[in-house]
Amino acid sequence: MSQTLLDAVHSASQNWKNAFNSGDAAGCAAQYEADAVMHARPFGTFTGTEQIQAFWQNLINDGFSDVEYIEPSFEVVDSQSVLLKSGWKMNQAQGVIHKELWVLQADGSAKLREDDFEAQG
């Protein structure tokens, strides 16, 4: 089961990065559960896909793009969830992902339940 879970998380994470890099905030938000919580330091906390989509749309509108994860680590928490931690960089910023909690959905896909990251420049 853990390989299937990891495959779902790798795929969903790649879908999120592809959406962001193509300027698709709705596609970013679609990778989150409906009531997900995102802590975007120092910007604030955003709850639910509507607030999360608005946050990503603002960044995209401000010209941010080309996100890359740097040395991501994937830790299987249980049969339904994986914790991703990573450094990240993009064209105008960089930082750390402290916690992406990806949870397996009924359809076999993975979605973000918790997202906690920090911009450091």
Mean per-residue pLDDT pooled into runs of 10, the chain (121 residues)? 90 97 98 98 97 98 96 96 98 97 97 97 70
Q: Which residues pair with 83 in a beta bridge?
A: 75, 101
- Give the span between the Cα atoms of 23 and 13, in whole angstroms: 16
Question: Residue 7 CA to chain centroid, in angstroms?
Answer: 15
Measured between its terminal Cα atoms, the distance across the chain in Å is 38
Q: How far apart are the C-alpha atoms of 94 and 102, rounded to whole Å?
A: 22
What is the reported pTM? Answer: 0.95
Would you state the pLDDT for residue 49? 98
Which CATH code of 1.10.287.610, 3.90.1150.10, 3.10.450.50, 3.40.50.1100 fits the domain covering 2-119?
3.10.450.50
